[in-house]
Amino acid sequence: MNGGKISSLLQDIEERLEDGAVVDEANLAIFLEEMEEIMERFFSEGSSYTTKGRMRLSAVGRENRKLWYEYKGYDKPKLNTSTRLRFCFGHVLESFLLLLVREAGHKVSDCQKKVTVNGVDGHIDCLIDDELVDVKSASPYGFKKFKDGSITKGEDPFGYMHQLGAYATALGKEKGHFLSIDKSSGELNLLRVNLSKVDTPNRIDFLKETLPLDTPPDRCYAEIEDASGNKKLASGCRFCDFKVECWKDSNDGIGLRKYNYARGPEYFTHVEKEPRVEEDFL
């Protein structure tokens, strides 16, 4: 057993797995209850989800224009099976991580506790040893940002720092942790972050003024021009649900043009020289 310090968490998990002891029945019961909730939600929620007219703490750090489209209720593609499965795998992994934490002798409390900041609601993942923790399952690319700490230096496309900052504000804390797992390798990481300079309340006030407006905020990312003079979407736009609507004035009013490269599709806002690959008409 540990001394109640979250700093030893990863080492304690490793030692617990080396022990080979039978899982504690109470810990297993909590995990199975969480699995039941995850499966019930997965099979019943359908393929679409709307946040029209609503804000939530988990999203306040995302790009302004994307949040505007969500708030206004613009249509976005329905979640396909692979995407829904990927989200479900993430929930399962995050719940499994908390089972490991409990089995390693650490205290887990306040799971999914509701918190509110400036009238916007959210739910924390948990406290571990009374420390604020947000649990994340990530791709190798995303995991690297937790491991090297670059997420605290602006490499934060999903707004996780504001999410954790909001929870810290609600709980009166200045520090928090990201407990993350690489979905491919199984590697774990615990990143302690200082949240005293993350002004989420001010961010929320800005969004409350901006999102109800009839005119959208500026685009989140500038288009990228290559040597041929062609211009295409930056990666932050390429994976956005609202890219077609957002860039509908591109290509002299035609809208985005999609070309299927071997590495994946690219979306062009201006075509000076026709790409020598198949065009997929949107």
Residue type for position 50: T
Burial class (CB in 10 A: 0-12, 13-18, 19+), 115: middle
Q: Is residue 218 part of a domain?
A: no
Same domain, 22 and 77: yes
Q: Is residue 34 part of a domain?
A: yes
Same domain, 177 and 271: no
Same domain, 238 and 154: no
Q: Is residue 62 part of a domain?
A: yes
CATH of the domain at 134: 3.90.320
Going by pLDDT thresholds of 50, 70 and 90, the confidence category of residue 147 is very high
Residue in this structure with the two tokens 């302004």, named with its chain if needed = 64
Same domain, 246 and 139: no
177-215 pLDDT, tens digit each: 999 999 999 999 999 999 999 999 999 999 999 999 999
Q: Is residue 213 part of a domain?
A: no
Same domain, 160 and 252: no
Q: Is residue 252 part of a domain?
A: yes
Phi first, then psi: give them for residue 148, nearest 5 degrees.
-95, 0
Per the structure, the complete domain to which residue 239 belongs is given by: 224-280
Q: Is residue 217 part of a domain?
A: no
Query: What does the block give as tokens for 190?
Result: 């615990």
Total domains, the chain: 2
88-136 pLDDT, tens digit each: 999 999 999 999 999 999 999 999 999 999 999 999 999 999 999 999 9
Q: Is residue 212 part of a domain?
A: no
Average pLDDT for 262-266: 94
Same domain, 203 and 253: no
